[in-house]
Amino acid sequence: MPSVLIVDDEPNIRRMVGALLGAEGYEVREAPDGARALSLAVETDPDVALIDLMMPGEFDGMAVLGALRERIPDLPVVMMSGRAGLGDAVRATKLGAYHFLEKPLTPEGVLLALAGAIELRRTRREMQALREDLGLAGAMVGESLGMRRVRDFIARIGPTDARVLITGESGTGKELVAAAIHNASTRHDRPFVRVNCAAIPRDLLESEMFGHEKGSFTGATERRIGRFELAHRGTLLLDEVGDLGAEAQAKLLRAIEAGEIERVGGSKPIAIDVRIISATNKDLVRGSREGTFREDLLFRLNVIPLEVPPLRERPDDIAALVRHFSALHRLRTGRAVPRWSDEALELLARHRWPGNVRELANIVERLAILHPGADVDAGEVCQVLSIDPAAPQTSTAAVLPDVAGLDAPLSELLDDYERTLILRALSSAQGNIAEAARRLQTDRPNLYRRMRRLGIGGDGSSPASAAPAIV
């Protein structure tokens, strides 16, 4: 039986509307003022609230609406008034009201508005339950120290509106962390909109971000709403923000500072209320020093920095992640999941995972497809990871010098060591970048970035000034 909370200072309104709803099978609760309404709503969690706009005292209908949005964000609210104007209706809608009814009320109008509001809440809850079943609700998998720190940090920063810059290697789950921050915020029932700054052509980026008016450029056959407007009152994730060009960075900075945007071809500013979360695998601090990323924009985005640890730093989470991805595969396909031996899990935990969690998810899915309901042991894992089980494990001590003889800064020593590893891989691969990346267990774009940073040419050449010091 759906429940309705009626909030009105007029007893006759509460009595007549209550009788109508009771006859239709609703469970009815009443409150004569805003304070009692808020208390009842928190205690009983109704399916919908029907609130009068004009009530005596400071805690009027608009104040009750605002308080309910903070305390019970997913509760649909239908406002009603006999003396409100268009401005009041617009203001109530902006505050989150589902519908606005004018008095005198009609039975059809009340029943239709409440039915729609209850259907909205039911749909929201079903979507949330489905996301949780599919593992897409932003839950962090793993109990390693690194993941506990990330989870605790999300709990502290989630309820704020502070801008967050999430950093970490490719495949570590930065988008999942951003979704978890959104779900922990007061905006969790509002849109969570993602824009991949690296995937959008630069000449279309402004249109994607801010929208455009019909006829503003060739091919603009209709008005388009940009990502900022779609995320109004919600959260906007700027994924791969380090790939934005200089012009896009300037326009993004202006939108953040002004709190408004203009569509391409438009002449009227549009106010936006958006929490911005950014994510990148680039070093934006270095980029700001080198002039590839605006320092003032970095200051705006990096209010709260959050680094996601790579998978190789959390081997204790491998078994939990394997079970998690196996369960997701079963939900998607209905096929039985493999039985993972301890030796298989140990091998997975010892792998370096250059592709991080994304790579692990692909490996688990591959093994689940190849061995449904069967045993997966060390042999199967060695095969998919291209590991020779007879090959001896490389010892780090064999390639590192005695620290007692070192007199260079740590950053230089690490760069020299990384340069040596890359040059050796390129040499053994006869200059083939793809093969060298495979041997180093990374992807080609990451290897190219590291080579450019270290001054290594595409043919494996290294300038004399960058000659390796560790051999």
Q: Torsions phi, psi of 280, nearest 5? A: -160, 155
> What is the DSSP pairing of strand 270-271 with strand 260-261?
antiparallel
Least confident piece of the model among 62-71, 85-94, 176-185, 240-249: 85-94
The answer for 468, left when phi > 0, alpha when psi is -120 to 50, beta otherwise, is beta
pTM of this prediction? Answer: 0.59
Q: One-letter amino acid identity for 368?
A: A
- Please tell me the distance from the alpha carbon of residue 65 to that of residue 71, in angstroms, as a whole number: 10
Give pLDDT tens digits for 358-416. Answer: 999 999 999 999 998 899 998 898 888 877 655 544 444 444 555 555 566 777 778 87
Task: Annotate 391-448 with DSSP letters as a single string.
Answer: SPPPPGGGTSPPGGG--S-HHHHHHHHHHHHHHHHHHHTTT-HHHHHHHTTS-HHHHH
> Percentage of the chain surpassing pLDDT 70?
89
**What's residue 394's pLDDT?**
45
Listed residue (163, 160, 158, 147) closest to 180, CA to CA = 158
Q: Could you give all domains of the chain from N- to C-terminal order, each with its CATH number?
A: 3-131 (3.40.50.2300), 156-308 (3.40.50.300), 312-384 (1.10.8.60), 399-466 (1.10.10)
User: 71 pLDDT exceeds 90?
Assistant: no
208: which strand partners? none
Element (H or E) spanning 205, and its range?
helix 202-210
Give residue 42's pLDDT band: very low, low, confident or very high (50, 70, 90).
confident
Least confident piece of the model among 77-86, 95-104, 114-123, 391-400: 391-400
> What is the DSSP pairing of strand 27-31 with strand 3-7?
parallel
